[in-house]
Structure 1
């Protein structure tokens, strides 16, 4: 009998793997200051993030009563990327227990990947600065493919790049895009409540919620995969 392929655990980045809020707010405020707009705060962040830098800037400007003309956006994105890149890793840190959890999964033979709507270059640069790149078999961003989360092709493309099997994949995230992309791709989802969702993650109907990465074990993942396989069989 052919052994089952190694499970693949796919992580969102901002608000899931990494607490990036301070640096996102700082670079976003640097960006909109060019328009003379009042700064945004951490409390605003949950309504701004999730679709990459372009949408975050557009939402911040709209929040401050300054809808953008399309031609103004590229220069602002460039300003944001330059400031954010120059400051890496800034205040950003992995969430408690993350590195130990990834070590456990890698020791068990698991593959790991990142599927984020952040620009791929920013995701790679940030993970590199934090010495985390080598944990992952694939890192894809919002500009890696023609589509992005919650389109299932962002996740399935990430799985393919990681050498995984969609039937042996679990998605972990903190927001509607992550839970929705998992559902759209037909894979189990794990939600974390410490990220940037503007609603309680339990209301997004993930398969399970963990409150700390100490709970992320191979037993938990295998249980989710078995449950998913059983649903398909029915």
Structure 2
């Protein structure tokens, strides 16, 4: 029988670049937008580092990299067209990273509350997670429209954990980019950084507490962080 040693702890996950490898569909939509405007496509791998800032930032940087001036007046129409295209292709190629389902199941069996805290809109996040049969693992999926502030504000994480029925004082963030580590620091939460995500900043420079090279390392990283935390608490009482 699995020991429920994570009872009372909440693990909050970023979505793009942490739980799901989404860059092929996001950059695919960007490239269809560029082609429609007579611009060259963005290289798939180099553009993947633009994903963490959201769809608007992806669009703007994509157009600027293609040599087109960014017209803020046209931004709402471009954004709407981007979202419409992305919805049609949201899970053409997007897949969970190796080990995601198995790891989530083990964490839940150990008593952890699981939630998603993402800067992707909640409806799009749920649409993607539903298509990949991942929604069932999470107590709540919280995009920026469902909380009081978006990452890197710690309010995003605190609100998401609270909505999930957890305690923000007993929560760990798992992400891949600066908005994740920034939000974790602001919320005074421990943070695990995935090196396989979409950060333009080297993962070791993001300021997380521990790096993982595979999603399958999440559980071990959580155990190590909590072990260190409990030791520090014990020493503080000596």
Query: Do the structures match in fold with TM over 0.5?
Result: yes
Given that 2:50 and 2:198 are in contact with CA atoms closer than 8 Å, whether structure 1 keeps it comes out as: no
**2:182 is the alignment partner of 1:180:** yes
Shift of 1:131: 0.7
Match of residue 119, structure 2, among 117, 120, 125: 117
The 5 A counterparts of 1:31-50 are: 31-50=33-52
Distance 2:6 2:96 in 1: 30
Aligned-CA RMSD value: 2.1
SS in 1 for 2:198: coil
Contact between 1:169 and 1:225, CA under 8 Å: does it hold in 2?
Answer: no
Q: Which of the numbers 44, 54, 57 marks the counterpart of 2:56?
A: 54
TM-score (norm: length of structure 1): 0.90
Secondary structure of residue in 2 paired with 1:189? strand
C-alpha displacement of 1:54: 1.4
1:70 to 53, 67, 72: 72
TM-score, structure 2 as length reference? 0.88
How big is the shift at 1:150? 0.5
Q: Distance in 1 between matches of 2:6 and 2:208?
A: 25
Deviation at 1:146, TM superposition (A): 4.8
Could you tell me whether the CA contact under 8 Å between 2:154 and 2:186 is conserved in 1? yes
In 1, distance between residues paired with 2:112 and 2:192?
16
Distance 1:208 1:55 in 2: 27
2:207 corresponds to which residue?
Answer: 205
Unaligned 5+ runs, structure 2? none
Q: Distance in 1 between matches of 2:41 and 2:145?
A: 27
Query: Quick one: distance in 2 between partners of 1:98 and 1:144?
Result: 24
SS in 2 for 1:164: coil
Alignment of 1:151-170 (within 5 A): 151-170=153-172
Contact 2:14 2:116 in 1 (8 A): yes
* From 14, 17, 20, the counterpart of 1:15: 17
Q: In 2, Cα distance between the equivalents of 1:111 and 1:212?
A: 21
Q: Displacement, 1:87? A: 1.7
Assess if the C-alpha contact under 8 Å between 1:19 and 1:93 holds in 2: yes
Measured in 2, the distance between the counterparts of 1:147 and 1:67 equals 30
* Structure 1, 162-171 or 37-46: larger mean CA deviation: 37-46
Q: Is the 8 A contact 1:52 1:142 kept in 2?
A: no
